[in-house]
Amino acid sequence: IQDERVTHAQCDPGSEIPSLLTERDSSYPALQILVAEDNEHTRFLVEAYCEKTPFALDMVENGLEAVRAFARKQYDVVLMDLQMPLLDGYSATRQIREYERENGYPPVPIIAFSALVMQENIHEALSAGCTSHLGKPIRQQGLLDAIATAVGHHAPQAAEGTTAVAPASIPA
């Protein structure tokens, strides 16, 4: 398996992104995924890593846009950067959880993804309502495993670089 780390210089739209998937992978369920990430290169990586999956991605650049998008459309998973302009990922997650409670909706898995990987950062993300944490730099298999785990597609286990939380521990 090749090293999947990609530098920002390699993230040009015409460049090749290392991928473990060489053809369309139908073993993943079709999912609607909201990606809240202010960094263009990271959005590009997420899109490239999910290109051969049946995932439909909606990209937003800040927490405020994430909350608005979540209120307009039903998503199966949210990928939430924690450090974004206008509204950070912690606050956006809290607002999404409040919206779900107010409307009687079940909690959607929210995967925090961030370069902030210290235990206190992970705890803060989980306390805000995230269901797991994926450290950056992201790798394709780690991202796909985190998504699959979040929706119960694989046996519940934390993907490499993630911290999983049982659904029962999601704040009500």
Blockwise average pLDDT, block size 10, the chain, 172 residues: 33 41 60 97 95 94 98 97 95 98 96 90 95 93 92 50 40 36
Instruction: Report the alpha-carbon distance of residue 8 to residue 131 in Å, rounded.
Output: 28
What tens digit of pLDDT does each residue of 23-39 get? 455 567 789 999 999 99
Q: What pTM does this model have? A: 0.76
What tens digit of pLDDT does each residue of 47-56 get? 999 998 999 9
- Give the side-chain half-sphere CA count within 13 A for 116: 15
Q: What's the residue count for the chain?
A: 172
Instruction: Report the alpha-carbon distance of residue 35 to residue 32 in Å, rounded.
Output: 10
Q: How many CB atoms lie within 10 A of CB 160?
A: 11
Helix (H) or strand (E) run with residue 33 in it: strand 32-36
Q: How is residue 85 annotated by DSSP?
A: S
Average pLDDT, the chain: 80
